[in-house]
Structure formats: structure tokens, C-alpha cells
Amino acid sequence: MKSQVQPKLIIHGGAGSSLHGKGGLEAVRRSLYAVVEEVYALLLSGVNATTAVARGCQLLEDDPRFNAGTGSVLQSDGQIRMSASLMDGASSRFSGVINISRVKNPIDLAQFLQTAPDRVLSDYGAAELAREMQIPSYNALTELRLQEWIQERQDNFKRTMAGVVAEPELLETSNAGRGTIGVVALDAYGKLAAGTSTGGKGFERIGRVSDSAMPAGNYATGYAAVSCTGIGEDIIDECLAAKIVVRVTDGMSLKDAMKKSFAEAHEHQRDLGAIALDANGAIAWGKTSQVILAAFHDGVQIGDTLELPEGTEVGCTVEC
């Protein structure tokens, strides 16, 4: 198959409260740019969007700075339970795992399930699949996340969720964070895919399910693809990813679909963000939170959203 379009890529490492210093901002930027560079090189080499998205999610899960895979937050009982999903826009096929423990990369299971008859598995079933795949047991806990949980336990879990990034200088001062990672890609053949992974919001009730393994938080068709971040309950209430994608699929421009969807979210006082691509190569992002930790490759250069003004914002590259 001959390549038809210039590949495009956008990733995120969560959304939420401000990064309280240049140290935090620059560290996040370095992490995001490294992932963009590796995944974009794969797209240029002809790797398809779904494979590239899965690789990008792996890299972000492996970075302890972000709340997915290694560095995931702890739930109220001190355990880590992770969720991830992958959607291939060309086939409109969604797959995912919910509340899985003891694996390094939840996205690997979501990728495997793309071709399975049962494509979304919860805790016990996902654990059985990991054993069938002979995935080694892995402890995703980091010392920073453990100390964060201990601090909150001593304070009777007054915060409703954990910090947006695991940075030593931020744990003491960060307000509510919405830690999720996501990757959206348009490959050289015009195919779209989206992937999202999370450790949850932290300190939550056992059994709580995030948006990351639902079409509300991760969705793609042949027309557009979206990965969300923010308060999962708000994303689910808005059905944000699917809403944006359906609007584009029905003929609305990506820019207009994002603006309308985020205007509604703002009116409903939601706290969330999203990254998106369409089949024409438009790159877009939006947020009602203070920051969205996103970086992208527009086919020419890498850019990011780390120093956007606080508050509701929808941005696009020139193609929008």
C-alpha cells in the first residue's frame, strides 16, 4: 500500500492543576518529546496507527512521572489497579482492560484483545488473560506514589484524587490531578487510532471504573480519533471522546466539534481535557482544567501545550 498522507501525532500525560515550577514543566516536556520523537519515527517508517499508538502508550506507561503503568497511583486500600483501551479507527474496533494489577503495560492486553471475540475484560478476566499471555508479574509501585498515599492516609484522604504528575517538588503542593496518558495517531495510509491508559484517580473506592477503558474516554473512526483526560466521571457524563468523534463523522470540522463539545463541558462545570486528530491531519486539543500535558508532531516539528493560559481553551494546528 502506498503512503497517502503526512503522518500526524499527538500525545498527553494528563491534565489538572498547574505545574508549579519550571523544573516540573521542563521535565514533563522532555518526557513527552522523547515519546513523540520515537513514535513519529515509527509512523514515518510505515508502521500503522494502531501499532504506533500502542507503542506510545507503552513508553508513557513506563515513565514513572505519569499515572499509568509504572508510577500509577494507589487506590484507597493501597493497591494499584490500572485500566487501558485501544481503538482502531479503520475497523472501528475497541478493546480494553479494566482494573488490572501486576502487569507492566496494560495497553499490551488491550492490543492483544483487538483480535479477540471478547474485547473488554475486567479485573479477574484481565488477570487470567495476562497469565495466558505469559506476561510476567510486575510491581508498578514507586516510592513517590507510596509516600503520596501515606500522606493522604494520615490526612484521612481529604483529597479526592492524587497528583497529576509524580514529581518530588509537586507532591506537597499539587492540587487535584487527573492522571491519564493517551496517544492519537494518523499513519501514512490515512488510518487513525487512539489509545488511553491510567492508574485511576487515586484514593478511590475499590471497584471504581475510569473512563479510560470506555468509548467515553477513548474513541476513533475513520474520520477522527480522541483520547481524553481529566476527572473520569465528568468525561463519562459528557461521553466526550465519542461525542467529538461522532460530530466529526457526521460532517462537523474537528475545530468546531471540539469547540462545541468543550463549550458544553464548560457550561456543565466539567474538569477535563482531550487530544484529537482527524483524517485530514488536523491536530486539536482542548481543556477546561488549568493545564493539559500534551505534545504533538505536525509533520514539520514538535510542539506542546504546556504553557497555555489557564482555563477553558481549545487549540488547533493550522490545518484546523
User: Could you tell me the three cell numbers for 148?
Assistant: 503520596
Distance (Å, whole) CA 65 – CA 39 = 19
Which cell is 120 given? Answer: 473488554
Return all residues near 245 (Cβ < 8 A) that are at least 6 apart.
Answer: 219, 220, 221, 223, 224, 225, 226
Find, among 85, 38, 207, 70, the residue nearest to 144 by Cα. 70
Provide DSSP, 191-240. Answer: -EEEEEEE--SSSPPTT---GGGSTTTEEE-SSEEEEEEE-HHHHHHHTH
Which sign does the torsion angle of CA 200, 202, 206, 208 carry? Answer: negative
Active-site residue, selected from the candidate residues 70, 180, 196, 198: 180
Supply 134's cell numbers: 505469559
Q: What is the C-alpha to C-alpha distance for residues 93 and 215, in angstroms, rounded to an integer? A: 11
Show Cβ contacts of residue 252 under 8 Å, excluding neighbours closer than 6 positions: 260
CB neighbour list of residue 33: distance below 8 Å, 6 or more residues apart: 295, 302, 304
Bridge partners for 227 per DSSP: 218, 275
How, if at all, do strands 302-304 and 313-316 pair? unpaired
Please identify which residue in the block is written with the cell numbers 515550577: 21
Residue 198 annotated as catalytic: no
The DSSP string of 173-192 is T---EE--EEEEEE-TTS-E
Residue pair 85/232 in contact by the 8 Å Cβ criterion = no
Catalytic machinery residues: 180
